[in-house]
Amino acid sequence: MRPRAAVLCGAAAVLAGAFTAVPADASAPRAGGGAPAALLEWRKCATAEHPTLQCASLPVPLDHDRPGGRRITLALSRIPHTARTFQGPLLVNPGGPGGSGLRLAGFVASSLPKKVATQYDVVGFDPRGVGASRPALNCRPGHFAPVRPDSLPHTPAVERANLTRARSFAAACGRKYAGVLPHLDTVSAARDIDAIRAALGAERINYFGYSYGTYLGAVYARLHPERVRRLVLDSVVDPTEVWYGANLRQDLAFNDRHRAFLAWVAKHDGAYRLGRDPERVEAAWYAMRAALAKRPAGGAVGAAELEDTFVPGGYYHGYWPYLAAAFAAYVADRDAGPLVEAYRNFGAVDAADENGYSVYAAVQCRDARWPRDGDDWREDNWDAYEKAPFMTWNNAWYNAPCAFWPARPRRPVDVTNRVLPPALLFQATDDAATPYEGGATLHRALRGSRLVVEEGGGNHGITLSGNACLDGHLTAYLADGTLPPAGPAADAVCPALPAPGPLRAKAAATTSRGAVLHGLLGFRG
């Protein structure tokens, strides 16, 4: 349930253009593996923000172990290099799983210093099943249509209703995509990356991934360490908790982040009039939830939809002023209109989000084994709920199709790597979506890697968001491979950006770099 990037950020969509053949750059390193490079036919697909953007498509095997079998298509984008020095392709991924990467190429190329960005072909791609790649999944249109059952299973009837939704989603995926689901997983996506590398004519790639994209990058590096030149991983997935454990850990971290938001609201009581005591503000939020469970606002925002609306605030504190204004209007002014508008901007699901969720479920359910016994889910999530009521059950039902998934699960990949060139990792200490321990764990697993920590930061996706300290380390690494000196735990520490203030006037949009980035990051994961 991504925030609406078009509403909040004004980010332009990738536009189709006329086909124009672009010859391979003579200075680009050639494809490895003994196979000739495929010729990608790049076409112009410029936007107002990114006038040099190009697009292409690449057929790849559905099953990489059967290269002569069924083919699927990956959609690619790139901002070509213009500098005399060419450092090869920089593949970028926004996370998810299920996030579309086509627009991320333009954002990264325009956000890096020009002298660095112009030395790379910055390449975005829609992973298999996503967006403009074909086939694009949509298992069960309308799955998130409001008003859904209360996420809190306080009665057997409510639990049955949520279980029925999860089972129906999994069954619909199985009916529509029976031949595809066994090949939607991180290993297959990593093998697609190597097909992209070969099609680009590169012996090695540079890779920059956010969130789930850090796991995808680590898996690729495990499969092909000799084909990695530079590796940047921002907001790191814990590779030892793929994926059931990771979601339970998220519940605790999101609860802490939600309480940080409520404390921020209390701090700005002059603007929101909900009290100066964070516990009082928290009680008001849960009272709002209880009221909406009985009488949804605008016929659209019940308890589950309220949670969907406020979860993005755990990813990015730039959304806090908008969420707080809607919260205050409902509680203090008895006005549900701003809350309904906030739901439309932050929580409502459109066709692109349905696609993102379908791929999210397909990859997470296939990547690793999930409990099939409802008692395990029930016990684990009630235990988590006692400590973290904010999104535990919402998250449980979000992932519950994995209890019924029709494709056999793989085993998680051990991404431990002792031969990879030094990687650069970024992690905020209070990140809710990928808690801090994930960055520390992967740092230990990748020999020679460096970990840059944003102390006190709670956003998810922290580079290219306005923190000059973080971006300085990123730029130095991409410019010439410079890394911070090795430290005992974190190798470099940067102070966090300050939290925003209340809106001074009613604002319809924000165009800060952080807001644009968080509109582009991958589907909730």
Which residues are part of the catalytic machinery?
211, 431, 460
For residue 81, the Cα-to-chain-centroid distance in whole angstroms is: 26
Burial of residue 240, with CB atoms counted within 10 A of its CB: 0-12 exposed, 13-18 middle, 19 or more buried:
middle
Write the secondary structure of 294-360 as one string of H (helix), E (strand) and C (coil).
HCCECCCECHHHHHHHHCHHHHCHHHHHHHHHHHHHHHHCCCCHHHHHHHHHHHCCCHHHHHHHHHH
Looking at residue 274, the DSSP 8-state letter turns out to be S
3-state SS class at 162: helix
Dist. CA 78–CA 46, nearest whole Å: 10
Residue 196 tokens, joined: 């992209």
Is omega for the bond preceding 80 within 30 degrees of 0, making it cis?
Answer: no
Within 13 Å, how many C-alpha atoms sit on residue 392's CB side? 20
For residue 85, the Cα-to-chain-centroid distance in whole angstroms is: 32
Left, alpha or beta for 140 (phi > 0: left; psi -120 to 50: alpha)?
A: beta
Write the single-letter amino acid at 393: W
Q: Using alpha carbons only, how large is the chain's radius of gyration in Å?
A: 22
Looking at residue 404, the DSSP 8-state letter turns out to be G
